[in-house]
């Protein structure tokens, strides 16, 4: 955590922070990220971070801004340092000096129905067609479909998670470390069965194994592999938009909203904790927007009614 090995408290501080995070149920990935941010702060100081002052924190945030670090990165560092100073060091007075940066809320990129169709048709093989179909057909995050970057943090689907009787997909330990169910449509079930038959023929589908195994069936497909498949499919389909796996989740929610599905139902399907998060899709549901009559048009219609001979 510290820069100079001359400070013997460095390893002790690191271990104490890890213990504090473990007690609070932080995932291994979150612990890794928090430690990394504190190490970055220590490198900036050139001394142990437990010797930091309020002015040091101010200078560090100025440095981050001048270095061009974007709001998400700055805010992630704030979260890590606030935990370090508040919990590990019991110095909440310093934690209060850290300022969060307001992030501009951008509209999510959404594909049309035709673009989704072309993208799935251009997917490189039945495995990726089924994986991308799951992202769109069930609205799952890529981390809920395949593995995260660290094997110890795997949150991904297994064959046993597909419940064709109840037409549900079980998602274990999704975002927020919560279990939930996602919808399983008949067509998505067909895509998954087509992949299962092909995967079984190739000896990739192990008993109680991954639904989307990697090259070695013992390990799951990685997020990087899915990202590459999406980019390749988008290019092959002639889609100029900047498509990611999460674009399919955005499209799932938006298309449901355009079908007049209640937004609270969509919230449950997406696994959102807050309705405000789901409500963002109302801003990109173009067919919903087009069906609303402008008050200007209502005035015009009223004027026309008044000028009719029989009015």
Question: Which residues are catalytically annotated?
Answer: 141, 175, 246, 249, 272, 281
Count of helices and strands (H, E) across the chain: 15, 3
Distance separating alpha carbons of residues 130 and 233, to the nearest angstrom = 13
Q: Which of 125, 127, 29, 154 is nearest to 146 (CA)?
A: 154
Distance separating alpha carbons of residues 298 and 283, to the nearest angstrom = 22
Per residue in 165-190, is it b (16+ CB within 10 Å) or e — as a string?
eeebbbbebbeeeeebbbbbeeebbe
Helix, strand, coil distribution of the chain in percent, nearest 5: 60, 5, 35
Rounded to 10 deg, the angle between the 113-121 and 223-236 helix axes is 110
Q: Please name the helix (run of DSSP H) or strand (run of DSSP E) that holds residue 54, with its range, or none.
A: helix 54-66
On whether the CB atoms of residues 210 and 221 are closer than 8 A, the answer is yes
Structure tokens at 148: 């995260």
């Amino acid at each position: 955590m510290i820069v100079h090995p001359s400070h013997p408290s460095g390893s002790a501080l690191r271990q104490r922070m890890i213990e504090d995070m473990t007690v609070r149920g932080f995932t291994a990935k979150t612990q890794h990220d928090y430690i990394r941010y504190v190490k970055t702060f220590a490198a900036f100081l050139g001394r142990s971070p437990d010797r930091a002052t309020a002015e040091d924190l101010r200078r560090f945030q100025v440095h981050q801004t001048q270095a061009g670090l974007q709001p998400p990165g700055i805010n992630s560092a704030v979260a890590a340092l606030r935990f370090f100073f508040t919990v590990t060091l019991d110095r909440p007075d310093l934690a209060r000096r850290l300022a969060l940066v307001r992030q501009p809320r951008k509209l999510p990129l959404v594909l049309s129905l035709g673009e989704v169709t072309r993208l799935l048709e251009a997917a490189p093989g039945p495995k990726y067609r089924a994986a991308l179909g799951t992202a769109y057909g069930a609205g799952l995050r890529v981390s809920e479909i395949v593995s995260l970057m660290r094997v110890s943090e795997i949150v991904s689907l297994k064959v046993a998670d597909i419940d064709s009787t109840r037409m549900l997909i079980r998602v274990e330990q999704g975002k927020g470390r919560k279990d939930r169910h996602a919808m399983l449509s008949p067509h998505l079930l067909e895509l998954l069965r087509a992949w299962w038959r092909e995967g079984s023929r190739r000896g990739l589908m192990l008993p109680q194994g991954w639904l989307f195994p990697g090259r070695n069936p013992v390990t799951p497909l990685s997020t990087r592999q899915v990202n590459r498949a999406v980019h390749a499919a988008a290019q092959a389909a002639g889609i100029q938009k900047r498509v990611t796996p999460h674009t399919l989740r955005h499209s799932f929610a938006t298309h449901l909203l355009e079908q007049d599905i209640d937004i609270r139902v969509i919230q449950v399907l997406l696994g959102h904790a807050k309705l405000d998060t789901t409500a963002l899709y109302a801003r990109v549901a173009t067919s919903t927007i087009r069906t609303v009559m402008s008050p200007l048009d209502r005035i015009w219609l009223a004027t026309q009614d008044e000028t009719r001979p029989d009015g």
